Structures are given as structure tokens and as C-alpha cells.
Amino acid sequence: MRVEGLAGGYAPGTEVLTGVSFALEAGTIAAVLGPNGGGKTTLFRALLGELPVRRGEVELESRPAYVPQTDRTRLDFPVSALDVVLMGAYARTPAWRRISRADRAAGRAALERVGLADRGGRRFGALSGGQRQRVLIARAVLQERPVVLLDEPLSGVDAASAARIETVFEELRAEGRILLVATHDVEQARRWDRVVCVNGEQVAFGRPAEVLTTDVLLRTYGHELVVLEGGARAVAVEHHEH
Amino acid sequence: MLDWLTDPFAGGLMQRALAEVLILALACGPLGVWVLLYRQSYAAESLSHAMLPGLVIAALAGAPLLLGAAGGVLAAAVAIALASRDQRLGGDVAVGVAIAALFGLGALLALSPDVPARLGELLFGDLLGVTGGDLVEGAVLAGAILVALALFHRRLALSVFDRVAAPSLGARPTVWELVLLALLAVCTVAAVRGLGNLLVVAMILAPGAAALNLTTRLPVALALAAGLAALAGALGLVASYHWEVAAGASVALAAVLVFLVSTPLGRPNSLSD
């Protein structure tokens, strides 16, 4: 995928993200780092083609799959975990046809892949936060798109879920997919292949070792950044308004 | 006991009334589930009330009530859209103002000396006055709603379950919200003659709410809501016959009773389970 001079916003004349340019090869995990309100969600919406105002070029083979944060879903909706995974096959299934046997089998395989083979019949809203996040990732796997956008998939999930999710990320990379992962975890980003830093504009793009310097992180997070151990580690602190 | 249940339906009037409520139940029940899942109960209440001026004008002009209801819904949609353009009003306030104005206008028209004595019929329905033609109209509209719900099932589910990711999965939530409201308008138009302007909402919402109390599976909830709406319709007519009370009101109260009975039987959709 290639992005060149991307800018956009939610109303004419009010661009909230500018100057985004990067290219990612197949089989890449890229972290998208930035503060709350820094443009991570806007970048994803632009890549999904959902931003009301957009400039620049985006080259994609097909529309990306998107994994939202689990608390953005309706937990009281009467569906099972497997029902949610099968939503990944809706776009390719005509309205008057049943979900194909092949897609049902693929859906069960995707659930197994995220370690939830025995939870397919459970109500989605009754699963733990980490399990729900894994179900949403299984749904993206079933979509079979070359590019997957994930909005803070490791935020607030239990350790077992986080480990399984990272394993799935590695598998998807090995299959040649491109993963763009919005995150606040700088140390996590160091383990991946590329980093895009945004804060209203693109601050930096490149390999983690080149990009994740204290200077870049300060420009990305400003006052939200806490530098530890004499600059060897940096932690982005989320500020929430209550 | 069986005779007590079947005796009311010996005559043609009650047979047609039963056929009407069963036809309406097939559309109202499943649609009600979607309306509740989309949290559009207020829209359901509002649409039915807002069509009163259209119904009264149809009664004044001697035109078919179906036509008046359709015109009333259209006028309500325009009024709500215009009221919503005022940035000082919130969405609910705009709907409330538009609906109160339209219902007031409908009542004013209905109280004029020229209006035939059919206001009660407009407000509370006339199940016993249903004709063969009415049944055909009701069946066509209910059938259209059922076909639409079946065809749109996946898009409707995506749009309400995961609004943020829905576009990447093949559904645009704003489009499907409008489609649901359009289906709600058609259902209200179809049901208002039998159940009345004030009572139709009970038949749409109460069986759906009862079904969502009783199951955690959407397809089961949709089928169950149709069954419970049919049960409420039949029980309401039986009660109306034996206790000599208004049929539309009996059906509405039976639907609410079904919901009340379902409540202690469990709320598996609550977030605490």
C-alpha cells in the first residue's frame, strides 16, 4: 500500500491531519503512534474511504478490514461469537443466499486461530474484553483483505489475550498481510517493522530504531510523554477527560 | 376452555379481525425487535402520532385512510427534518416539537363540526370493521416488510452491532437507519386502521421487547416476536368479545401483558449475565 500527501478532516476547511506519506510492503506490521486527538482515527477513516474531506493519494488493492475497539460494539446485541466472526463474510454473500459452508468452516477456523474454538456459541457480550477483541480480529481474518487496520487492539486486554493476539499478528504478517496498528505503547511499537507517528500531521515514518527517538516522541506526544531511565525508555501517557 | 377461546371467532366479523391481527403480527413483531435494537422506540411512537392530521383529512375528504396515513407520515418526516435544521434544538426536542404540533393539528381538525364521527376509530382503530380489501392491503404491506427484513437482515445487523466497522463490512449505518424508519412508517400505515393511531405502537414494541427478554439469539427473537404478537392479537380479541371492550385496546393491552409476563422469566441480553 502507498499513501502520498494524505490530508483530511470532517468538514471543509478544517483538516485535522495533513502531510501523511508512507509506503508499506506486503508482510509488514506498522504501528501508528500518536496522542488522543492526534489523527490516528482520522488516518484510519481516510484509508477506509469514510472521511468527508480527503486530499492526497491512497493506493490500496482493496478496501481494508477494520478492527474497532471492542467497547465500540453493542454488547447487548443478541449474537454469538461465531455470528460476529461470520459478519466477515457478509460483503461477499448475496442478501438472498445463506453464508456458504466454506465460509462457515473458515469462520470456525478463524475462531480456533484466536484460541476461542470452544466459545463460538457464547453470546458476544458475555465474553471478556480480551476475548471480544480476539473475536473481532477473527472477523477481520475471515474478511481476507490484504490490509487490516486495528484500533488499539491490545489496550486493556488480559495477558493471555494479548499474547494470542500478538501471535496472530505474526501469522498474518507471515501470510503477507499488512497490519496497521494504532497504539499508545511505544515499547510495543519497537518490536514491529515500521512506525508512523502522527500529531495533526505526520511527524515521522520509518523503522522503529530510526524513528523512535526522544525528539520524535516529544514532537508526537508533547506533554503526554514521560521519558524514563535517562531517555532509554519512553512511555506515552493517555489523558482521559471525565 | 377451548370453546371460550374459539367461540368468539364463529362470525365473519371476528374472523376477519383475527386474520388482520395475525397478518399485522407477522410484520409488527420482527420489526419491533429491530426498532428496539436500533433504540428507535421514540420514533415508532412519534410516527404513529404524527400521522393523525393525514388520517383526519382523509376522513374529511372521504379518501382511503391508507392514503391519509401515508400522507401523514410524509408530512411528519418533512416537519421533523425542518425542525431538526434549527441548531438550537436537540434532535429529540425537534421531533417532540414537530410531533406535538402535528398531533395538535390533527386533534383540531378532528374536532371541527364537518368531521364524521370517526375520531375514535382513527385513534383506537376498528378491527371489527376490517373488510376483505383491507385484509389484502394489510397482507401486501406486511409481506413487503417481511421480505425486506429478510433481505436486509445482515446489513441491519451490521449497522447496529458495530457502527464503526460496518462500512468496511459492507453496510452504511446511516442508510440502514433510514431504511428501518421507512419500514416502520410502512408498518404503521398498514396497522393504523385496525389498531388505531394511539395503540399501534404497543403491537410493534411490546412483543419485540418480550422476545428480547426471552432469548439471546437474534433469529429466534425475530420469530418469537411474530409469535408473541399473534398470541397477543388473538388473546386481545377473545378478551374483547367476552368482556365487551374495544378490540384495538384489548389487543394493545394483551401485547403489554405478554411483555410483563416475559420480564421475570429472564433478561439474558442484560450486560450482567
Predicted pLDDT of residue A99: 95
Locate B1 and state its grid cell.
376452555
Confidence of residue A229 (pLDDT cuts 50, 70, 90): low
- SS3 of B10-78: the string is HCHHHHHHHHHHHHHHHHHHHHHHHHHHCCCHHHHHHHHHHCHHHHHHHHHHCCCHHHHHHHHHHHHHH
Among the listed residues B68, B80, B66, the one whose alpha carbon sits nearest the alpha carbon of residue B110: B68
Number of inter-chain CB pairs under 8 A, A vs B: 80
* SS3 category, B176: helix
CA atoms of B95 and B188, how far apart (whole Å):
17
Please give the DSSP secondary-structure letter assigned to residue A99: P
**Per-residue pLDDT tens for B3-48?**
888 888 888 889 999 999 999 999 999 999 999 999 988 888 888 8
Checking DSSP bridges between strand A194-198 and strand A178-183, what pairing results, if any?
unpaired
Q: Specify which of A218-232, B64-78, B193-207 reaches the highest per-range mean pLDDT.
A: B193-207
Angle B65-84/B41-50 helices, nearest 10 degrees? 120
Q: Is A87 on the interface with B (CB under 8 A)?
A: yes
Angle A159-174/A129-143 helices, nearest 10 degrees? 10
Whether residue A95 and residue B154 make contact (CB cut-off 8 A), yes or no, is: yes
Work out whether the CA dihedral A213, A214, A215, A219 comes out positive or negative: positive
The interface predicted TM-score (ipTM) is: 0.86
CA atoms of A88 and B170, how far apart (whole Å):
9
Residues A94-106, mean pLDDT to the nearest whole number: 95
Which residues pair with residue A198 across a beta bridge? A202
Predicted pLDDT of residue B117: 57
Checking DSSP bridges between strand A178-183 and strand A28-33, what pairing results, if any?
parallel
Q: Does the structure show a pLDDT above 60 at B62?
A: yes
CA atoms of B12 and B91, how far apart (whole Å):
46
CA distance A200 to chain B (A): 21
Number of other residues whose CB lies within 10 A of the CB of residue A144:
16
Number of other residues whose CB lies within 10 A of the CB of residue B17:
29
Q: For an interface test with B, which of A48, A63, A66 has the most B Cβ atoms less than 10 Å from its Cβ?
A: A66
Q: Name the average pLDDT for chain A.
A: 89
Calculate Rg over the CA atoms of chain B. 19
Q: Does the structure show a pLDDT above 80 at B183?
A: yes
* Predicted model pTM: 0.88
Work out whether the CA dihedral A170, A175, A176, A177 comes out positive or negative: negative
Smallest Cβ distance to B162: which of A49, A73, A78? A73
List chain B residues with CB under 8 Å of A139.
Answer: 169
Q: Is A76 on the interface with B (CB under 8 A)?
A: yes
Among the listed residues A139, A74, A78, the one whose alpha carbon sits nearest the alpha carbon of residue B159: A74
Predicted pLDDT of residue B156: 96
Predicted pLDDT of residue A241: 45
Smallest CA–CA distance from B213 into chain A, residue: A78
**Per-residue pLDDT tens for A1-35?**
999 999 988 888 788 899 999 999 999 999 999 98
Smallest Cβ distance to B271: which of A68, A83, A125? A125
Write phi, then psi, for A226 (nearest 5 degrees): -115, 120
Whether residue B169 and residue A88 make contact (CB cut-off 8 A), yes or no, is: yes
State the alpha helices, DSSP H only, in A1-128: 40-47, 81-86, 101-113
Checking DSSP bridges between strand A2-9 and strand A28-33, what pairing results, if any?
unpaired
Checking DSSP bridges between strand A2-9 and strand A15-23, what pairing results, if any?
antiparallel
Q: Is A88 on the interface with B (CB under 8 A)?
A: yes
Predicted pLDDT of residue B119: 67
Whether residue B273 and residue A126 make contact (CB cut-off 8 A), yes or no, is: yes
